[in-house]
Chain A
Amino acid sequence: MNGQTGKFVGNLPCDPKAFWRTFWITSIIAAIAIFGVGYLFFR
Chain B
Amino acid sequence: MKKIFAVLAAAAVMIISAIPALALIPEEYASQNLYAPERLKPRVVDDADILPGFAEDKLLSRLDSISEEHNIDVVLVTVNSLGGRAPDKFARDYFAYNGFGMGDGKDGFVFMLAMDTRDYSIQCTGKGEEIFNDYGTGFLVDQMYGDLHDGDYYDAFDKYADISEDFIKEWEKGTPYSATHRAKGKLHPGWILGALIGGAVIGLIVSESIKAQLTSVSMQHGADDYIRKNSFKLTVQRDNFLYKNVTKTRIESSSGSSGGSHGHVSHGSSGGHSFSGRSGKF
28 A-B pairs with C-beta separation under 8 A: A8-B216, A9-B216, A9-B217, A10-B216, A11-B215, A12-B214, A12-B215, A14-B211, A19-B210, A19-B211, A23-B203, A23-B206, A24-B203, A26-B202, A26-B206, A27-B203, A27-B204, A28-B199, A31-B196, A31-B199, A33-B199, A34-B198, A35-B195, A38-B188, A38-B194, A39-B187, A42-B191, A43-B185
A26, B203: Cβ atoms under 8 Å?
yes
Complexed CA–CA distance, A7 and B195 (Å): 39
CA–CA, A23 to B191, complex, Å? 21
Measured in the bound complex, the distance between the Cα atoms of B218 and A11 in whole Å is: 9
Q: Do most interface residues of chain A lie in helix, strand or loop, or is the interface mixed?
A: helix
B218's nearest neighbour on chain A, judged by CB, is: A11
Within 8 A of A (CB), among B200-258: 200, 202-204, 206-207, 210-211, 214-217
Q: How far is the CB of B217 from chain A (nearest CB, A)?
A: 5
Q: Determine if A3 is an interface residue (Cβ-Cβ < 8 Å).
A: no
> Range of interface residues on chain B?
20 to 34
Chain A contacts to B: CB under 8 angstroms = 7-14, 19-20, 22-35, 38-39, 42-43
Residues of B within 8 A of A14 (CB): 211, 214
B217 touches A10 (CB 8 A): yes
B158 → chain A closest CB, angstroms: 18
Known: A23-B207, A43-B184. 9 other contacts (CB 8 A): A10-B217, A12-B216, A19-B211, A22-B207, A26-B202, A27-B204, A30-B199, A32-B195, A32-B199
Interface of chain B, main secondary structure:
helix
Interface contact B203-A34, CB-CB below 8 Å: no
- Known contacts: A30-B203, A35-B191, A43-B187. The answer to whether A22 contacts B210 by CB under 8 A is yes
Whether A38 lies near B202 (C-beta < 8 A) is: no
Task: For the complex formed, measure the closest distance between the CB of A43 and the CB atoms of chain B, giving whole angstroms.
Answer: 5
Q: Report the separation of the CA atoms of residues A28 and B185 in the bound assembly, to the nearest whole angstrom.
A: 25
Residues of A within 8 Å of B204, CB to CB, are 23, 27
Set A12, A25, A31: member contacting B198, Cβ < 8 A: A31
Other-chain contact of A27, B202, B211, B216 (Cβ < 8 Å): B202
Which residues of the other chain, B, contact A42 by a CB distance below 8 angstroms?
187-188, 191
Contact yes or no, B207 A19, CB < 8 A: yes
* Nearest-Cβ distance from residue A5 to partner chain B, whole angstroms: 12
Residues of B within 8 A of A12 (CB): 214-216
Q: How many whole Å from B154's CB to the nearest CB in chain A?
A: 22
- A34 vs chain B, min Cβ distance (A): 4
Q: How far is the CA of A39 from the CA of B186 in the complex (A)?
A: 9
Q: How far is the CA of A22 from the CA of B244 in the complex (A)?
A: 51
